[in-house]
Amino acid sequence: MSDASKRSLKDRMIYQWALFCLALGFFSRLPMPKNTPYSSERMNRSGRYFSTVGLLLGVLCGGVFLLLDAALPSTVALFLMMSFSLMLTGAFHEDGLTDMADGIGGGMTLDRRLSIMKDSRIGTYGASALIMALLGKWVLLNELISMTGLFMVIVTSYTFSRAIAASLIYDMPYVSDLDTSKSKPLANKQTKNELVFLMIVGVLPSLWFGLAFTFVLSVVAYLFRVGFKKWLMARIGGFTGDCLGAAQQLMELLIYIVFIAAFYNGLL
């Protein structure tokens, strides 16, 4: 390999690492290197690493649960792990679910729905959605504790749910105000290569449970994506950053349900 080729390969690797760091800083509270270059274009391209960030967060949360579960009752370990997860992401996706529920539930027109989503106050719809989401995770994960180890369940759920959520950017229009939206850098559509990479990383952890389970989970995820996309198009004509957060939360809950159904029916 020539020196020029080596430099080119090194530059590409440095560029990809910078994109991952931007995604990590945007989707979590983990610090990224201070010298990471930023631009709107780079931030947009970093969306390909959404599922990769989910993989890292899943490993961290799953690892925390394993450590705590060795010294504390499983229910206590689960509560502390869920708290750690909220701090790790800054409740980023939970906030999206809350805002989307308030906006679409409380607004009668498109403008009103988008306006409510931008309001930092939480209404009845948002509070109900948040409570049910957190309670749902608690109930479903508690059920899974008695069926299997949670580490790979958490890794799979965190990774795949983020892949499905981010994939909505590929073929849906962005409908929020680009000048004020916190998700402006992600508003541009993904390339096919970015979508493929996003989904490959998203699916990989599920292969731990076998091809049959991965196939079932992929079918369920596809049906959820189709249904959620159709619902969003009917309600607001596209997606917002809050909708992506809501998609991640709902998909994560659905993945836990698929795990429980698989164990209960002898698929795993």
Categorize the per-residue pLDDT at 40 as very low, low, confident or very high, splitting at 50, 70 and 90.
Answer: confident
In total, how many domains does the chain have?
1
- CB burial of residue 134 (10 Å; 0-12, 13-18, 19+): middle
pLDDT higher than 70, residue 6: no
In a domain, 30, yes or no: no
Angle CA(31)–CA(35)–CA(41) in degrees, nearest 5?
90
DSSP H helical segments within 50-123, as ranges? Answer: 50-69, 74-89, 92-106, 110-118
In a domain, 40, yes or no: no
Question: Does 245 reside within a domain?
Answer: yes
User: What pTM was estimated for this model as a whole?
Assistant: 0.91
Distance, in Å, from the CA atom of 266 to the CA atom of 244, rounded to the nearest integer, reads 32
Does residue 4 lie in a domain region? no
> What is the span of the domain harbouring residue 158?
49-264
In a domain, 178, yes or no: yes
Per-residue pLDDT of 142-180, as tens digits, reads 999 988 889 999 999 999 999 999 999 998 998 875 555
Q: Is residue 196 part of a domain?
A: yes
Reading phi first (left if > 0) and then psi (alpha if -120 to 50, else beta), residue 231 is in alpha
Please determine, for residue 136, whether its predicted confidence score (pLDDT) is greater than 60: yes
Q: Which long-range contacts (CB under 8 A, 24 or more apart) does 130-134 make?
A: 130/94, 130/97, 130/98, 130/101, 133/94, 133/97, 133/249, 133/250, 133/253, 134/82, 134/94
Residue 113: pLDDT above 70? yes
Do 97 and 129 touch, CB atoms closer than 8 A? yes
Please write the tens of the pLDDT for every residue from 46-70: 778 999 999 999 999 999 999 999 9
C-alpha neighbours within 13 Å on the C-beta side of residue 116:
23
Amino acid letter for position 165 = A
Does residue 71 fall inside a structural domain? Answer: yes
Q: What is the pLDDT of residues 209-265, one digit of tens each?
A: 999 999 999 999 999 999 999 999 999 999 998 999 999 999 999 999 999 999 999
Q: Is residue 68 part of a domain?
A: yes
Residue 118: its pLDDT value, please? Answer: 87
